[in-house]
Amino acid sequence: MVSLKDIAKACHVSPATVSKALNNQSDVSEQTKSLVRNMAKKMGYFPNSSARALKTNRTYNIGVLFVDEAESGLTHDYFAAVLDSFKRGAEDAGYDLTFINSRKNRHDGMSYLEHCMYRGFDGALIACVDFYDPEVAELVNSGLPVITIDHMFNGHSSVFSDNVKGMHDLVTYILSKGHRKIAYIHGLKSAVTDSRLSSFHKTLYDAGIIVPDEYIKEAPYRNTEETAAKTLELLNLKDPPTCILYPDDFSCYGGINAIKERGLTIGEDISVAGYDGIRLGRHIEPHLTTLRQDTKRIGLEAAKKLVSLIEQPRTTIEEQIMIEGEVYEGKTLKDLTRLQ
């Protein structure tokens, strides 16, 4: 096995210089760094991760806690995109990612925190999980650097998609098309759901519109069967809505299928809008009107903040980072102003 001393001898420098060059320290010239790196590559040198951990007190490994109740895993369009962006940001900073086993898949009896300690993670990303689980709270309050997505723990950093502004912008756009009878099939209770639902009601209230109770339905996120059933309930009302909002883009297609089975045309007989901005919605006709969340920036900001918490714990400020989305107009919303 090639050692630092072997590289130093071949380059006619000291082992200390080789170490500094490979770790990109500033007190070694770029010429020497290039010489050492090229020689290390030529000789087939690979740094030992265990030795590096002993020297730096870091493993350069981040744990990812991602437990989707619907068990859609990495097929969950929104979180898959966020995690992909987070992965890119973490890797650019020199970190690897390892998923933390969910409770139902653990056979060792370890808690989330114990798993992190066992693996020696430098920090953890927490996304799409039961944030009220005592094990999650234990991990967050353990002192290990953590970053959460779409949920805030007091005194800890988090990255949010701005659901209040997102829903406001989406409903405002729907209002601009002349719709006044707007129904909302929202997701199950969570911080995200509460923010969107409150923003939905406030935006319509500010426009002088009080939403009938029967226009508000509930269905799990990404559940096409439930949203189809709730859509039929709305269509069966004596005074049905002209537009239906859905918990997310994926579940919206359950509603679209139910509408089509009734022989109705999307964007003509009734309008629909999703929430997320998944790529699929921009490729199926008619293109889905939705609020496109900035998953790329959410993931990158989460990676940037977590790496900073790991590497500069004394100077990094714990904060909540809010990322705005944008309305994607699509073609599933009828313009009623043309009929007025």
Cβ neighbors of 142 (< 8 A, separation 6 or more) are 113, 116
CB 124 within 8 A of CB 139: yes
CB 254 within 8 A of CB 224: yes
Instruction: Tell me the residue length of the chain.
Output: 340
Shared domain for 191 and 154, answered yes or no, is: no
CB 44 within 8 A of CB 260: no
Shared domain for 331 and 195, answered yes or no, is: yes
Shared domain for 81 and 199, answered yes or no, is: no
Average pLDDT over residues 311-338: 94
Shared domain for 198 and 334, answered yes or no, is: yes
pLDDT tens digits along 8-18: 999 999 988 98
User: Is position 52 within any domain?
Assistant: no
pLDDT for position 3: 82
Res 323 pLDDT > 90: yes
Q: Where are the beta strands (DSSP E) in the chain?
A: 61-66, 96-99, 123-127, 146-149, 158-161, 182-186, 216-218, 243-245, 271-273, 290-292, 320-323, 326-328
For the chain, give percent helix, strand, coil, nearest 5.
45, 15, 40
Phi, psi (deg, nearest 5) at residue 32: -65, -40
Res 75 pLDDT > 70: no
Dihedral angle of Cα 266, 268, 273, 277, to the nearest 10 degrees: 70
Shared domain for 285 and 183, answered yes or no, is: yes
pLDDT for position 1: 73
Shared domain for 193 and 281, answered yes or no, is: yes
Distances (CA, A) of 276 to 67, 161, 211, 260, 304: 19, 10, 23, 22, 23
pLDDT tens digits along 11-69: 999 988 988 888 778 788 999 999 999 998 888 887 665 555 555 567 899 999 987 66
- Greatest alpha-carbon pair distance for the chain in Å reads 88
Measured CA to CA, the distance from residue 130 to residue 67 in angstroms comes to 8
Shared domain for 130 and 71, answered yes or no, is: yes
Shared domain for 332 and 197, answered yes or no, is: yes
Shared domain for 71 and 95, answered yes or no, is: yes
Q: Which residue is associated with the tokens 């269509």?
A: 235
Res 339 pLDDT > 90: no
Q: Into how many domains does the chain fold?
A: 3
Measured CA to CA, the distance from residue 319 to residue 156 in angstroms comes to 7
Shared domain for 143 and 37, answered yes or no, is: no
User: Is position 302 within any domain?
Assistant: yes
Mean pLDDT of the chain: 90
pLDDT tens digits along 258-303: 999 999 999 999 999 999 988 877 778 899 999 999 999 999 999 9
Average pLDDT over residues 225-244: 97
Query: Pairing state of beta strands 290-292 and 326-328?
Result: antiparallel
Shared domain for 274 and 172, answered yes or no, is: yes
Start-to-end Cα distance in the chain: 80
pLDDT for position 12: 93
User: Is position 141 within any domain?
Assistant: yes
Reading the block at residue 110, the tokens are 């370890």
Distances (CA, A) of 253 to 77, 153, 294: 14, 33, 21
Res 4 pLDDT > 70: yes
* 96 bridge partner residues: 61
pLDDT for position 44: 85
